[in-house]
Chains A and B, each alone.
Chain A
Amino acid sequence: NAGVMQNPRHLVRRRGQEARLRCSPMKGHSHVYWYRQLPEEGLKFMVYLQKENIIDESGMPKERFSAEFPKEGPSILRIQQVVRGDSAAYFCASSTGGNQPQHFGDGTRLSIL
């Protein structure tokens, strides 16, 4: 049973470009969560989605960031017009429900030149 798959593992973008991060949850999981981790820090919650719905986006920056989890296909975290401060590791987790343990992917390391 494959775990949470994130791609790409590493992504390099220039300032002003768009970054798209993908997350395929574990089989049977319909709840997806995105977190951001800066160096030497813990993970910071960004958004919690269920199929086609955003449950909690209280951790998402108000501008440039968006997330979706369509009926078919992976969840996408999209960052428009990236800036240097967006450089971080972005982790996706999935679960079978909002009160079940979260299983994490290995993250996407985003570097902004």
Chain B
Amino acid sequence: SQQGEEDPQALSIQEGENATMNCSYKTSINNLQWYRQNSGRGLVHLILIRSNEREKHSGRLRVTLDTSKKSSSLLITASRAADTASYFCATPEGPTDSWGKLQFGAGTQVVVTP
């Protein structure tokens, strides 16, 4: 079974709008990571949030983590057409501080129209 599950499965917005997607997970985590995948390409690491952090920012990205609800959200502000991609959350499985085995959700497909 999947550790992370993203919601919604798909999201269509216009340039300039904000995009929010959520990730729920099942077991305790050391950290949670968000990745982006453009069509036909590999994954690009966006941001990592540790279990003792509640919010983290990176440029137009804002990630929150609620360990009591076992959920995380990714917000992309002022979206651009270039943000069109699939977004995945991932959690490491294994010994503490080991990121060797990442478990991915099924992803949220985001389409940003001009």
Contacts and interface: CB of A to CB of B under 8 A. Distances in A.
Interface of A: 4, 31, 33, 35, 40-45, 48, 55-56, 58-59, 91, 93, 95, 98-107
Interface size class of chain B, counting residues whose CB lies under 8 Å from the partner chain: 20 to 34
Nearest to A95: B99
Interface of B: 2, 4, 33, 35, 40-45, 48, 88, 93-94, 97-107
A49 to B, nearest CB: 10
Contact of A102 (B2, B40, B41, B99): B99
Contacts of A33: 100-102
B44 A104 contact: yes
A66 B33 CA distance: 28
A91 B102 contact: no
| 6 smallest beta-carbon distances between A and B, as pairs | A104-B42, A42-B104, A104-B43, A48-B100, A43-B104, A98-B100
